[in-house]
Amino acid sequence: MAIHPFKNEKSDDWEKGERNAELQQALASIREQFSTNYPLYINGEEIYTEKTVPSYNPSNHEQVLGYVSQARKHDVGKAIDAAEKAFEDWRLRSFKDRAMYLLKAAEIMRRRKAELVAWQIYEVGKNYYEADGEILEAIDFLEMYARKAIALGEEQCVNTSPGIENRLEYLPLGIGVIIPPWNFPLAILTGMTASAIVTGNTVLIKPSIVTPITGYKFMEIMQELHLPDGVVNFVPGSSREIGDFMVGHKDVNFISFTGSKEVGLHIDEIAHQRTKGQRWIKRVVSEMGGKNGVVVDETADLDAAAEAIVTSAFRFQGQKCSAGSRAIIHEEVYGALIEKIVERTATLKVGNTLENPDLGPVIDEKAYNNIVNYIELGKKEASLALGGSSDNGVGYYIEPTIFKDVAPESRIMREEIFGPVLAICKVSNFEEGIRVYNDTEYGLTGALFTKDRERMAYARMHMRCGNLFFNSKCTGAIVGVQPFGGYYMSGTGAKTGTGEYLLNFVQAKTTSEKL
């Protein structure tokens, strides 16, 4: 099989023509599958358990999409044993051999794209555009990591010395636990799993409890690949019951996690408590969200800034870790820019994602209540410029909400809300804007709108974030184009979609032979 240079997957327009007909057929087909029971998948075997949990449609929270079996500790133990056994052969495969599985998985995703988009609409509450982007990213991860792994498996350049032949090679770590988030339950799951198995590791996947069917659809693709039994195991279950057990198990070598700061810090703490019989220091690769913002100075193109701020804040209901929930605006353009932001936001439609609105529902009741509480707090801390209403009668719907005249030290300016809420702050100069931007414990994405190149240079050195965008929105980083990942309380700094990311899942070994 010829391996062509990497190219990002092209998007589809699901609103028109044949693609729309294909999507409507997929949505109808899935409706007929509602209430299906989904199993665990351990060592190549489907296992149905007595205990199941329902997955609900956030656009219609009385609609059950299916029931997913729940793993207990003994199931996790069985999965770890299977992964350990599979590792002994899988680690010996060549990087190219393992990469071929990823390229085949990408082809399967292309073939099943309409179905995967439909599941995003039903289970995750994404509109057509956001659902399509999810599948594109998943395919890009497979294609990118396959190629980067092949390069990693090639002979590494090391210096030689007279009479001695030296070699450096990369070996896998062992068994990993993959814990993906609910907001990108296919793309991030794919990226974390693909990077682990292509480097020779074996894994256990614990999907989010609110989007487990999407996780199982990924497992169907893994089954279609005919991977050796035990390389990828699917163990959905209660975090309280199996989470710490998995993370702290003596035979687990690494944990890949994307989710909230609180859970990520807990995982890191458990992982680094040595367990009896544990022989290695576990690695934790985590991404934990952010309190991202857009800084606008007095030289900026205000129409472009307004469009970027609205897109960054409200796409996918503000439920992206990169969402721009803060706008920090120079006083000279403050009033004019707020008018443009409010005007654009007022045109956004909220509704059931089957109807492809601008905004769908937030994911569940817990998220809904948390966001509503922050909106009530915002009404006390600042001035409500737009929105503020919510309705969970049928789905978990929240209007895009804007607060202006927000004090830099206020909670809605510093704490992650993870919903369609934008806080706007006025500053008197550019440097103050950067200071306000940095006044949070996170460091994921940021954007600066300016025509002053010296200010861009200043921002490169002083805006504390892993991904910085000039005169653009702060969301939508593309695999292989804008390596993604942050630091501080946003994560461990690993950059996804790069060859560097694969180094998190290998260890280097040097061999020297005297000739």
Active-site residues, by number, are: 287, 321
With residues binned 3-state (H G I as helix, E B as strand, rest as coil), the percentages for the chain, rounded to 5, are: 40, 20, 35
User: What whole-number distance in Å separates Cα of residue 337 and Cα of residue 147?
Assistant: 44
User: What whole-number distance in Å separates Cα of residue 271 and Cα of residue 263?
Assistant: 12
| Beta bridge pairs of residue 511 | 167
DSSP 294-314: EEE-TTS-HHHHHHHHHHHHH
Which residues are CB-contacts of 297 (< 8 A; sequence separation ≥ 6)?
Answer: 330, 430, 433, 448, 449, 450, 452, 455
Instruction: Order across the sheet with 383-386: list the strands.
Output: 383-386, 401-404, 421-427, 324-330, 292-296, 445-449, 467-470
Q: Under a CB-based contact definition with an 8 Å cutoff, are residues 293 and 424 in contact?
A: no
Kindly state the helix (H) or strand (E) to which residue 216 belongs, with its residue range: helix 212-224
Query: Environment class of residue 508 by beta-carbon count within 10 Å: exposed (0-12), middle (13-18) or buried (19+)?
Result: exposed
The 3-state DSSP class for residue 45 equals strand
Query: Environment class of residue 409 by beta-carbon count within 10 Å: exposed (0-12), middle (13-18) or buried (19+)?
Result: exposed
User: What whole-number distance in Å separates Cα of residue 36 and Cα of residue 32?
Assistant: 9
User: What whole-number distance in Å separates Cα of residue 422 and Cα of residue 385?
Assistant: 10
Q: What is the chain's alpha carbon radius of gyration, rounded to the nearest angstrom?
A: 23
Q: Under a CB-based contact definition with an 8 Å cutoff, are residues 109 and 299 in contact?
A: no
Q: Counting runs of H as helices and runs of E as strands, what totals does the chain give?
A: 16, 23
Report the candidate in 47, 408, 57 with the shortest Cα–Cα distance to residue 214: 57
